[in-house]
Each structure stands twice: as C-alpha cells, then as structure tokens.
Structure 1
Amino acid sequence: MSVRAEVLNILERVFRQHGFASLLLRKADISKEEMGLASEIVYGTIRNKTLLEEQWRPFTKHVKPRVSALLNMSVYQLLFLDSIPSYAVIFEAVELAGKSEKDFVNAVLRKVQAQGIRKPEGNTIEELAVLTSHPLWILQLWKAHYGFETMKEIALHNQEPSLVYGRVNTLKCKKTDIAQIPDVRMLEDDCFFYAGVLQRTELFLKGMVLIQDRHSQKVVRKLDVLPGMQVLDACAAPGTKTQQIACLMKNQGKIVATDLYEARCNLIDELMNRTGVSIVCAKQNDATITGKFPKESFDRILIDAPCSGLGDLSHKPEIRWHLEPTSIDELVRTQEAILDVNAEYLRVGGILVYSTCTLNRKENEQQIKKFLAKHSDYVLLEEETLFPMINDADGFYYAKLKRNQ
C-alpha cells in the first residue's frame, strides 16, 4: 500500500471513528523514510480541514466522506507543499479514487490548482473559523472567556506544529550532562528543548530523559513536594507527571498513582521501571467514588483532571473535530466529583493542585470557585492560565489550594 493510501485510511479513521493521528501513524505500514511526509500530510490536513474544504466546495456540493478526505489531503499537498509536483499529487489522488470517482476527483483538483488558494482575512470570528479551521463554537467560547484578540492568537498558534519539550530524569543523570549535548537548549529547572526527534535518542530509550510539555512541568512544580512525603496523583496515567513528582522527592517517600483503567496503570508501572522510580504504587481506582483512602492521609494531592483538551489543539489538532459542546458538560460533572472526593484525603496544611490542559473557564476558574464555595476548609493560594502562545507550549490551567482546617 502506498504512503498516501495509508494517509487516506488514517484520515478516514480520524474523522469518522474519532481516532488519534499519533496512534494511527504509529501503527501504519509506513517506512521511517516516508514517515515525515505522511505525518506532514496527516497533521496538515487535520489542522486545515475547513480551509481546505473551502477550496473545493464551489465545484461540488455532496461527496462521500472518503472522497472528502481524499480531496482535503490532495488540496493540502497542492497548495501547502511546494516540494511535491502538482501532477504527482493529482495522479496519486486519481489512483486512490474509486472507479466511478476518478474523473470527478481529477476535474475538481485541476480546478483548485488553477484557482490557487483562497484565504479569508480573519478579521471576523466567522472568517477566523475558516482561516484557522476551528469549529465556530470553540472560537465563540474563547472570545467570551478571553476576548477577541486572545482568541485569535490562540487559534493562529494552533495552526503551527507544537514544539516538543523534554525533562531531565534526575534519578538517572545530571542536568549538566544533558546540557552538554548538541542541539539541547536548557530552559527553567529540568526542562529542555531538543532540536531533533527526542524519542529516537538513546537518552530517551534508556529513561534518562522524558518527553513532557513545558507547562505540564510547571504545574507539577507547584505541588512543592519534599522527600519523604505521602502524595496522591489521582488521575495519573501514563505517569509522566508522577515520575516528575518522584524526581522532586528524590525517590524518597510514597506516591499513590491511580487511574480508572488497569491497562493504564500498567503503563505507569512500565514508565517507573524504565526511569528508576521505586516509590510509586499504581492502583486502578475510580476517582469519583468516595472512601477509597483514609481521610487526611496525604501531604500533597495532584488532580490532573480529565478535560476537553482545548489547550492541546496544536499537538492534537483532531480534538477540535471530536468535541461537542454537550460533551464538556459531562466532563465538568466528572471534574467536580473528583475534586470533592479527593479533597477529603488531604491533611490539614497540605497542598492540592488541580490542573487541566484546556482553555475553558467552566472547567477551570469556575470549577475552582464552585469547589471553594463548598469547602470552607480550603483556600486558593494561586491560579494561572498558561496560554499556548506564551512559551510555544500546550495551554494549561492550574489552581494551587491549601487545606487550612
């Protein structure tokens, strides 16, 4: 099967079955040499879906989902990838089309090629929805919460490939050792940027460094953990934040890391073994059900809550097409339950950090305001929305809370 045939199958599964591009690319029958091109076409097509459809919609009204995906990926190559000859793009698209659709696909793509790209200015929210290929309801939500200009900055930022950040595993090596490596740029604390493909390096494979977003690392540092503490990581899988907590505790004390699914708890165990952590106990647990741990049994609690992921649309652009406004309401109820249940497990004087990788006040500030109204024994020490364009990182929110009585 050709690389473009694999790409077409991936796009179909992303849009019709809510699949995730990164997992589908990993499982696809694509050589290392062709993976770069495949990833570019897949992510570029997902990020620009609405804009791409605007290019060919004037020439046809109704097409099958597979043909729509084929036209989108072909138009992306025609208009965004100068390195691929137009004749090659059109020839391959016609080859991938069904027998009854070959002439149609050929005609539409040649019209798009002759027309050239048509882009709106993006001066209105409707134009911006096309220019940045975001569902209008997401832009309306951001505009209501953060204003038009911030909304526009977020949307434009999401159209660029996200940077990949690393973190030094201080249980296995020193920061100074990593800093000496070519193409490494050290940032704050143990965070660094690597210009190459980090997951292919020996450092990553041996567990000396981990891939972790810059803002994610900042959230964990807000726990202020110390060696010897008892810590609960309530929504822990796959365990990257858990591992960071263990590093900050110098692998001394105890961390209980829970997740709803046993298979994901196994991922936590695997990561801890690979990275030299011995203080983590991974447990399958429904964090919305009370009474799973004794009251006031932990010094620190991290709740990295399940969320809509609206801060992660550069890294996972398909989220924008999978989400519906109604699905957020269910997430809000789950977050509220997790907060209420796990708050009982924190000792007086302890710190609880609530975080999400979303940009939505309903899941963030309003969730914490509601929690504080019900729990007078808690006070808010600090909260912050970390917008993705600030550090070229994922969008995050955190609230740092203390239990006073």
Structure 2
Amino acid sequence: MELIHRNLLIGIHDALQETFFEKNKYADKVIERLLKANKKWGSQDRAVVSEIFYNIIRWKKRLEYYMGEGVKPSNIYKLILAYVLWSQTRFKKFDEFDGIKTADIITKLKKNTVPTKAIEHSIPDWLAETLEKELGADWEKEMQALNEQAPTVLRANSLKTSAKELISDLSDENIVSYTIKNYPDAVQLEEKKNVFLTTSFKDGLFEVQDASSQKIGYFLDVKEGQRVVDACAGAGGKTLHLAALMGNKGQIIALDIFDWKLAELKRRAKRAGAHNIETRLISDNKVIKRLYEKADRLLIDAPCSGLGVLKRNPDSKWKIDQEFIDRIKKEQQQILQDYSKILKKGGKMVYATCSILPSENNKQIEEFLQNNPNFKMIKDEKVMPSEGYDGFYMAMIERVS
C-alpha cells in the first residue's frame, strides 16, 4: 500500500472515534460525511481511507488483542498502529506515533496465534457462540467470508436499459464491469468506484443492489397487472426491482414506518421511471387492516440482525447483542402474523431476511405455518456469504383459504 499522509491519518482517527463512541452513528454515513468534507482528496486517497477505516472496524477485536487492551477514545491511534503493523501498511512520518510503544504489539504479531475463535474472526464472544450453535461446523467458513470486502454490484434498471447496455455506458465513463451468471440484471464492478457521480446513475439506468438481494424480486414471481404490497419497503431497493419486473403495469403499495425512507423511495422511483408505486406510511394498524385480503403478492423483507451483510456493514456486529436478536425474532413473528392477512386467497408472499441464522429464517416460517394452517410453504432458499455475495433467506408461502 502507498505511503499515507498525516491528514488522511487524522481523518481515519476522527471517523473511528465517531463510529465507536457516538451512538447510532453508522460507518457508511460516517465515511460518507468524511469524504464529502475533504473534497481535495484524490480518488486514490479516498479509496485508501475507506479501505483502512472499514478494515479496522472489521478486525477491531483482533486488533484489540494485539494492542493488549480495548479501544478507548484516547487510544484510537494505537488501534490504527496495530492495524498498520499487522497489515504492513506504512504511514508517511511514522514518528507521528511517538509515545506509542510498538514492542508489545510486535511481540504478539510474531506469535501469529490468537487464543479464541472470537478473536480470530474478530466478533463478540456471544456472536461466536450463537453462530456455532445455529450453523454448526460451517460457522467459521461463513465468518471468514463475512470478513472479506463486499464487491460492488449494480442492478440494471430494465425499465430503461439492459445489463449489457449498462456495461457499455459505464465503459464510456471509464468504469469496467461485467455480468454475473444466473443474475439477469446484475452488473459487477471490477474495482470500487463512486458510481453515484456517473451520468448513468443520474439518468436512472441502475441502482446499487447486491446480487443476493436481487434474487428476492424474482423469487416473488410478480406478474404485470397484479396488486403487490411491499410491507417493509424502506428506501425501496426491492420495490424498484419489482416495478421493473412488472414493466410498470399493475400496482405496488410500498409501506414503511418511517416517512423519510418513503420520501427517499419516491425520489429514487422518479429517477428510475417507476410509475406504478404508491407509498403509504404505517401510522397505525388501520393502514394494514385496510389492505386485508387485497394483495396478489406480498413481500415481507423483515427487520433482522443483518448478520448476512457484515461484509458491507461490519460495524453492526459491534452494535447488536443477543438481546437485540431475541427481540427482533418476536417482531418478525408479529409482522408475519399481522401482515400475512393482506394476501388474497391464492395469493403468495415471500418472507425474506438478510440474516444467516435459522432462528430468524426457516424456524420462523415453521412456527408461522404451525399457527396458520390456511397457509402452505411452496419453496425456500438460503444464500450463504461463502457463495460470494450477501447472506439472505427467502421463503414463498401461499394463502390457501
């Protein structure tokens, strides 16, 4: 890696401080603000800062072991130094680390062993126990994959273009990309670039959406002219895909409990040329009740632990705990019970999460079907991080009476 200047080092330090010591500050927003505030940094500098920032978050527990103590606001430079020595990154003016002893870190690095699996994979102890309990012997393989950097995958907006046409358009803007086998709309970048500055993005030719996430739109098996409800739409990544798959024909009702997310969805839909989406804020239970037995298709992209997407959100493993997962599982079951009534007889719904825990996935579906004999399972699928993209689960269920 190139030598790194002091101003970049300070930027990384401040971003880590904000991520670790200010509640609800998510890494993606922190780095976005840092890069916006330093417009003079070149593209290479920006890429290096992002890479080091995310890698330190990813490997925090292992780096703490090398440091010999936990991360405190006063020793973030020591955390960075541990990463520098471990990854053999070199900073310009290494004497800026004066006052921080490197000998202890170097001694531990030379041993090249760590005492626990949680430290090896850099996750909280409780999470190592949960993953082993739920995934068995495969948990380490999945955790290894989750500690890799996520590729950048785009979804070509079929209302305006195709994957092959998008690749050509991006090439005109000096971005190299390629199609992914078995993912009709997916385009993967050869290297990370800020695609949001491209004309192709401004013209609504694509959205950034992981390949696994794109599977869900196809899994729902939507048809032109249907009434489709996206019950946890958020900012609308999957909603927009459904609109494209329906060729703008029929109706999509996008629901969410956050108005600002629906406002973002409207903005994105306008750019994408998706005209068949209506947003509705879930302000009370009546919003859901008015839709009972009205939908041909229902997507429940349920709130979850997010453990399948740690490649791109490594900070979330430090922000959640077992209590959060237990609470979210109750919420998932409640959403399934309440929102499933939206389906007509003969209608189909997909329950999806970006978790890899069976207790959030197939176990939830098994419990729902036991309590609701008027529904039947058609199929389900799990996509694991070791397959190359985000971890996801999806189950299709039909209302039979």
Q: TM-score, normalised by structure 2?
A: 0.89
Deviation at 1:247, TM superposition (A): 0.4
Asked if 1:146 is matched to 2:135, the reply is yes
- Between the aligned partners of 1:316 and 1:288, the Cα distance in structure 2 is 32
Q: Which amino acid letter does the alignment assign opposite residue 192 of structure 1?
A: V
Q: 1:303 to 1:291 in 2, by over 3 A?
A: closer
Secondary structure of residue in 2 paired with 1:302: strand
1:401 aligned to 382, 392, 397, which one? 397
- Between the aligned partners of 1:295 and 1:381, the Cα distance in structure 2 is 21
Match of 1:131 in 2: 120
Match of 1:15 in 2: 20
Secondary structure of residue in 2 paired with 1:5: helix
Deviation at 1:263, TM superposition (A): 0.9
Q: 1:287 to 1:255 in 2, by over 3 A?
A: farther
Cα displacement string for residues 259-315 of structure 1 (whole angstroms, at most 9, x for unaligned residues): 111111101101101110111011111587774323210100001011110111111
Deviation at 1:329, TM superposition (A): 1.4
Asked if 1:30 is matched to 2:35, the reply is no
Cα displacement string for residues 332-359 of structure 1 (whole angstroms, at most 9, x for unaligned residues): 1111111111111101111100000011
Q: Using the TM superposition, name which of 236-245 and 31-40 deviates more.
A: 31-40
Is the CA contact 2:227–2:252 (under 8 Å) kept in the aligned structure 1?
Answer: yes
Q: Which amino acid letter does the alignment assign opposite residue 333 of structure 1?
A: K
Match of 1:260 in 2: 257
Name segments (4+ residues, structure 1) moved above 6 Å.
287-290
Is the CA contact 2:234–2:265 (under 8 Å) kept in the aligned structure 1?
Answer: yes
Match of 2:267 in 1: 270
1:6 aligned to 2, 11, 17, which one? 11
Deviation at 1:205, TM superposition (A): 2.6
Is the CA contact 2:333–2:368 (under 8 Å) kept in the aligned structure 1?
Answer: yes
Match of 2:58 in 1: 47
Secondary structure of residue in 1 paired with 2:188: strand
Is the CA contact 2:227–2:295 (under 8 Å) kept in the aligned structure 1?
Answer: yes
Is the CA contact 1:55–1:117 (under 8 Å) kept in the aligned structure 2?
Answer: no
Q: Which amino acid letter does the alignment assign opposite residue 127 of structure 2?
A: I
Match of 1:75 in 2: 82
Q: Using the TM superposition, name which of 321-330 and 291-300 deviates more.
A: 291-300
Q: Using the TM superposition, name which of 202-211 and 269-278 deviates more.
A: 202-211
Q: 1:22 to 1:64 in 2, by over 3 A?
A: closer
Cα displacement string for residues 364-386 of structure 1 (whole angstroms, at most 9, x for unaligned residues): 11111111111111111111221
2:359 aligned to 359, 362, 367, which one? 362
Is the CA contact 1:3–1:30 (under 8 Å) kept in the aligned structure 2?
Answer: no
2:155 aligned to 118, 142, 167, which one? 167
Deviation at 1:117, TM superposition (A): 4.8
- Between the aligned partners of 2:79 and 2:73, the Cα distance in structure 1 is 10
Is the CA contact 1:79–1:117 (under 8 Å) kept in the aligned structure 2?
Answer: no
Deviation at 1:114, TM superposition (A): 6.6
- Between the aligned partners of 1:53 and 1:365, the Cα distance in structure 2 is 36
Ranges in structure 2 where 5+ consecutive residues have no aligned partner: 1-5
1:178 aligned to 152, 163, 166, which one? 166
Q: Using the TM superposition, name which of 69-78 and 197-206 deviates more.
A: 197-206
Is the CA contact 2:159–2:244 (under 8 Å) kept in the aligned structure 1?
Answer: yes
Secondary structure of residue in 2 paired with 1:147: helix
Is the CA contact 1:260–1:287 (under 8 Å) kept in the aligned structure 2?
Answer: no
Asked if 1:192 is matched to 2:192, the reply is no
Match of 1:337 in 2: 334
Question: How many residues of Structure 1 are paired with residues of Structure 2 in the alignment?
Answer: 381
Q: Using the TM superposition, name which of 132-141 and 223-232 deviates more.
A: 132-141
2:102 aligned to 88, 103, 109, which one? 109
Is the CA contact 2:234–2:258 (under 8 Å) kept in the aligned structure 1?
Answer: no
Is the CA contact 2:12–2:49 (under 8 Å) kept in the aligned structure 1?
Answer: yes
Match of 1:100 in 2: none
Cα displacement string for residues 154-193 of structure 1 (whole angstroms, at most 9, x for unaligned residues): 1111221111111110111133312445422112211121
Match of 1:97 in 2: none
- Between the aligned partners of 1:348 and 1:20, the Cα distance in structure 2 is 41
Is the CA contact 2:131–2:357 (under 8 Å) kept in the aligned structure 1?
Answer: yes
Deviation at 1:214, TM superposition (A): 0.6
Q: 1:396 to 1:403 in 2, by over 3 A?
A: same
